[in-house]
Amino acid sequence: MQNSAVFVPHFHWDREWYEPFQVFRHRLVAALDTVLETAEANPDFRFTVDGQMAAVEDYLEMRPENRDRVKALVTGGQLAVGPWLILLDEFLCSGETIVRNLQMGWAAAAKLGGSMPIGYLPDMFGHVAQMPQILARAGIEHAALWRGVPGSVEGHAFRWRAPDGSEVRTEFLFDGYDNGLDVLLVPDQIGRALDEYAQMTAERWGDDPLLAMAGTDHNAPDPRLASWLRDAAGEQRPITIATLAEYIREHVRDDVSAVVTGELRSHVRGNILPGVLSVRLALKQRMAVAERTVDHAERINALWSRRDDSPFLALAWHKIIESTAHDSVVGSGADETSDQVEARLAEATHTARAVRDAALAEPAARVPSDGYLVANPLPFPRTSLAEVDVVAPPEGTELIATGADGSARPVQLISTAPTVLSDERMDASQLERVLRRIHRRELFGRLIDRYELTPGSLVFHLAEVPADGPFDLLILRRDVAAAAAAHPGEWRVLTLEEARATALVPVRVPASGLAGFRVEPIEVTAELATDLTPATGTDRTLSNGQVEVTVAADGTLDMTGADGTVLRGVGRLVDGGDRGDSYNYAPPGQDVLVSEPVDVTVELLENGPLRSRLRITRSYEWPAALSAERDVRGDRTVRTPVETLVEVRAGEPFVRVSTSFLNQSADHRLRFHVPLPEPAAVSAAAGQFAVTERGLTAEGGWGEYPLPTFPASSFVSAGAATVLLDHSTEYELVGEGSELAVTLLRAIGSISVNIHPLRDEPAAGEIPAPGAQDLGVRIENRLAVLPSASGWQGAHAVALAEEFRNDVLVTRGTGAAGGQLPPAETGVRVEGADVLVSSVRRLPETGIEVRLVAMSDTGSTARVTGAFTEATTVDLLGRPLGTTPVSDALELALGPWEIRTVVVR
């Protein structure tokens, strides 16, 4: 008796890739038209719509008249949809984005009859460690996937365990999501081909039925598939057609012994294409900005606004999630596709920014217009620097910042602005043209405080906040017309602004809270008392009492941390060739590594007391491109100055570092090196609700060389160095663990190359992607280096990474000038070691949802306080699990790496 076989008709739909979205959608509509017709004509036919609702939404936007047809097929079990909104790249977005993706997909599927309860992840380039917990906490017990599974899995299923211990039974698509297609190549030979395939893979299936995934990219199954399979079936060869959910529910055992814990990034059974982590830098940066902006918007809107902007926030999230598709944010598409993704992420940011700014405007109305409002998006109190535009102090005075509680803090002036905005001479007959520049009271972005009109002279005095008193533009027009008629000839028109400066102000802001301040002049006196050790600088050294940095002769940095840890040579830049493509890095056979600058200059920009900065300019001779044979770096070089801004702030235990250069070279990879005092055998990288430890190697065995380049989202730590990150980034421990290398740029010119030295199989067509070279683009990166011998936990990297990535939000008050500053206010406060707050958002008519994660292997106790009296624990789809009254604070005992969601009201 031969094994039975279950065929799962499906397609895999890349929403955008080597063609832009609308081109692929045109094909999608035709494909789903065929699917609907096939299913309605044959009640035995089944189809699985790739696990992502985006394909269905995109279809119904073009075919709205078919919604009832789709719903009937879903309800009848012939069409399996969901649970995701889109099939994402799991490493290039935040854990919160993964959750929202699942929530939006599940909700969209529910409107059509319900979601497939399978965490279908067929083509992602590896899988994050916490995915089993995300699925399990949404009530999903099964997953199905292909790439990244280690060689220890010998069957077709395993139990996938998250760091917290959550598990999902996982169907291993070991031959890919199209393993059934070869069996179908010759319709009248399906029986023979199936027997041969079953025999070849018998050890994988054991006594379970063979799963034949009958589909591939961007194509509907042949409408004759069901009849072909009926003809091939027989008593000795049972063949059925099912959705993926039906196969797992009805045809397989749940008692799987193999267990895999944590992330799946093995190359042993399929390419995981790790080069996508570093190609098209702008997409990774825009994703981080969009996620950060919508997160801030949700928090500020939930806590400080009476307006429910959920529709705008949902739109922003939808556009972010669309952009996480595994051929979108990864940058492996055509230039026009990447341009569209970048624009979509910008649109998401704009939408979220509008909500954020509108929410801030409400409390800003309670702050006088000569004051400022600061909002802290993080759930713990902090002292942060606010950069504001202020009236420059008169000679003999200095500026201080005063708060509502009467406190006074020193202010650091960092620049002054010109006071003469225009000085013009014109004939009297032209004066009317000058008046057309005035819009009610605004002129050159300021407001007219007063004006002086004398024979032959018109002087405007502008201010950000004009003195009280009326201004009548009609009277000005009348008076100027009369003066011009009385005094013909040359006139002088002078536009003056009050002396202004840019100032840094230290502000203590409560948890998720608000604080106001004014900047005022005082006579020069003794230094104000402060709880911050000043940041100071010399021509080559910066220090703040916690960390010290010295610029070496070659432009690298020697850093000393608060515990005495010393890192030497930080920021060594190493540039090498890259003959690979958007999917995989590859060094040319004759590479040239450039690590020594040809000249170095250092300039002190700021000397405290709140912030000190040095600018280092290192010029390099980088090869302009590979040679014609592609395996040699060319002889022609381009002089490339790289500016490195080094910054220490009062109170911070890390050094902020920004790099910037105009890229004039093609086919190369640039990395930022952090040498370690002692070699490290293990790195730890934070991202997607976990900190994942990795060694110096990666598991290989397929047709892809297993380079040990790995992703990190908020920080990466190795030995005595922790690097805080602004966006998802690629890193590697090199030199047998002696240096941590962070990729700043990988410039390539093709989606895929047919012959790749580190990958046997082409990842796509050899399609040019000149935009991925980033030629003529200014490449900027921002990170921070934290020297500490106690590792990421001892150095409190989880909290510090949040501070580094999330600046306070500053806006001008709009209340009456001269009024009292409102007292500081606290929002939701969360205390607990290594507790990450992933989300704070308003749920209309329900309360405020707070999602917390214990970012450690020992768990943590989280203490949540705020203006609420009741808390309901919910799963990741928002379904209530239990309600607790709250009197003083909500105490939550979080297990190791546990994700917990509560709704407070």
pLDDT tens sequence across 807-820: 999 999 999 988 99
| CA-based end-to-end distance of the chain | 61
What is this structure's pTM?
0.95
Q: Which pLDDT score, from 0 to 100, does residue 2 have?
A: 56
Report whether pLDDT(414) > 60. yes
* Nearest residue to 644 via CA among 658, 630, 634: 658
Residue type, 163: P
Return the DSSP state at 552: -
d(CA 452, CA 475): 13
- Residue at 363: amino acid letter: P
CA-CA distance, 572 to 738, in Å (whole number)?
13
For 225-252, how does the pLDDT look when each residue is reduced to its tens digit (9 = 90+)? 999 999 998 767 799 999 999 999 998 8
Average pLDDT, integer, range 132-155: 97
Q: Which residues neighbour 200 within 8 Å (Cβ) at sequence distance 6 or greater?
A: none
Averaged pLDDT, 420-432: 95
Tens of pLDDT, residues 601-642 = 999 999 999 999 999 999 999 999 999 989 999 999 999 999
pLDDT of residue 433: 92
Residue 551 pLDDT greater than 60, yes or no = yes
Quote the CA–CA distance of 258 and 206 in Å, as a whole number: 14
**Helix 95-110, helix 53-62: angle, nearest 10:** 50
**In this predicted structure, what is the pLDDT of residue 259?**
98
Q: How far is CA 68 from the centre of its chain?
A: 37
Predicted local confidence at residue 692, as pLDDT: 98
Q: From the CB of residue 881, how many other CB atoms can be counted at a distance below 10 Å?
A: 11
Please say if the pLDDT value at position 657 is more than 90: yes
| pLDDT (average), residues 453-464 | 94
- Cβ 502 vs Cβ 388: under 8 Å: yes
Q: Which has the closest alpha carbon to 826: 517, 516, 512?
A: 512
Which pair of structure tokens corresponds to residue 111?
Answer: 């409107």
pLDDT tens across 774-786, in order? 999 999 999 999 9
* pLDDT score, position 526: 53
When pLDDT is averaged across residues 11-26 and rounded to a whole number, the result is 97
| Per-residue pLDDT at 698 | 96
Residues 6+ apart with CB under 8 A from 100: 317, 320, 321
Q: What tokens were used for 211? A: 């799963």
Q: Does the pLDDT value for residue 118 go beyond 50?
A: yes
Q: How many CB atoms lie within 10 A of CB 607?
A: 17
Is pLDDT above 70 for 528? no
Tens digit of each residue's pLDDT (9 = 90 or more) over 475-525: 999 999 999 999 999 999 999 998 889 999 999 999 999 999 999 998 876
Mean pLDDT value across the chain? 95
Backbone phi and psi for residue 437, each to the nearest 5 degrees, phi listed first: -70, -20
Give the DSSP H/E element, type plus range, for residue 21.
helix 21-41
Average pLDDT over residues 77-95: 98
**pLDDT tens-digit profile of 173-187?**
999 999 999 999 999
Which band of pLDDT confidence, cut at 50, 70 and 90, is reported for residue 1? Answer: very low
Dihedral sign from CA coordinates of 227, 233, 234, 240: negative
How is residue 96 written in tokens? 């919160």
Q: In the prediction, which pLDDT does 531 show?
A: 72
**pLDDT-above-70 percentage for the chain:** 99
**177 contact partners, CB below 8 Å, separation of at least 6:** 10, 12, 122, 123, 146, 213, 215, 216
